[in-house]
Amino acid sequence: MTTVLVVEDDPAISRPLTRALEREGHDVAAAATGTEALAVLDAPAHADVTLVILDLGLPDLDGLEVCRRIRAGGRDVPVLMLTARTDEADFVVGLDAGADDYVAKPFRMAELLARVRALLRRRLPSLLEVNGVRVDASARRVEVDGTEVVLANKEFELLRVMMSRAGQVVTREEILAEVWNDPALKASKTLDMHMSWLRRKLAAARRTPDAGNPISTVRGVGFRFDA
């Protein structure tokens, strides 16, 4: 179980975001101001906060100052910045202040959740092993039934996304947001091509040819890595 701190003063954003995060299985703490956010982070009851979603435009301390204070306090918790500003310089300033990623408003909920999963995945153990497939993220190495499989960069990231959510259906939009950082590619064949190449390599490395492919297609929705 992970705890996400949502720092957002607009209830029209914070409430649906909180519900979406809870549906994803996260505990959610909420703050409407920068001062409140820092108090939440300092409270012993919230020592386990694993990610902060931080609005840039808060009514007291702005998100940049909150982020700077989080980093000055020695916390390395991932920070995902929300901003209505679209100037590239503002994004750079946010990253320089210590943010790990940013999402521009208005945002699609699926994209934001994908960014959350991507940041949290960095905190996952570097080793994943499911259904005969072993991924060592630190060594960028993949084995299927003990046989090493060489994957291209996007194939590796695609496999890691699928395995980190083994047993769950991952939508096309979520995959595109996490692996390509571009949900707008939904209508293209990019995902299908890479998924086809990945599945072919996994199947070719199976010891038993009729063992089946661990990645299943869920028609009209996305894909599932069978656990």
Per-residue pLDDT tens over the stretch 212-225 = 789 999 998 999 99
Check whether residue 146 and residue 207 sit in a common domain. Answer: yes
Which pLDDT tens digit goes with each residue over 177-212? 778 876 666 667 889 999 999 999 999 998 876 667
Check whether residue 33 and residue 11 sit in a common domain. Answer: yes
More confident residue, 226 or 48: 226
Q: How confident is the model at residue 174 (pLDDT cuts 50, 70, 90)?
A: confident
Question: Of 19-23, 57-61, 82-86, 145-149, where does mean pLDDT reach its minimum?
Answer: 82-86
pLDDT, position 122 = 75
Check whether residue 33 and residue 106 sit in a common domain. Answer: yes
**Does the predicted model carry a pTM greater than 0.75?**
no
Question: Of 29-38, 85-94, 129-138, 201-210, where does mean pLDDT reach its minimum?
Answer: 85-94
- Please state the domain count of the chain: 2
Per the prediction, the chain carries an average pLDDT of 88
CB burial readout 41-56, b (16+ within 10 A) else e: beeeeeeebbbbbbbb
pLDDT, position 151 = 94
CATH code: domain of residue 16: 3.40.50.2300
Check whether residue 106 and residue 9 sit in a common domain. Answer: yes
Whose tokens are 């299908």? That residue is: 192
Q: How confident is the model at residue 35 (pLDDT cuts 50, 70, 90)?
A: very high
Q: Which domain holds residue 185?
A: 127-225
Check whether residue 115 and residue 138 sit in a common domain. Answer: no
Q: What is the mean pLDDT of residues 19-39?
A: 93
Check whether residue 106 and residue 212 sit in a common domain. Answer: no
- Residue at which a domain ends, from 123, 152, 185: 123
pLDDT, position 183 = 61
Check whether residue 115 and residue 42 sit in a common domain. Answer: yes
Check whether residue 22 and residue 104 sit in a common domain. Answer: yes
CATH code: domain of residue 137: 1.10.10.10
Check whether residue 104 and residue 137 sit in a common domain. Answer: no
Which pLDDT tens digit goes with each residue over 67-99? 999 999 888 899 999 988 666 666 677 777 888
Closest CA to 156 of 170, 140, 143, 138: 140
Question: Of 3-12, 138-147, 179-188, where does mean pLDDT reach its minimum?
Answer: 179-188
- Residue at which a domain ends, from 108, 123, 138: 123
How many Cα atoms within 13 Å fall on the side-chain side of residue 31?
27
pLDDT, position 124 = 66
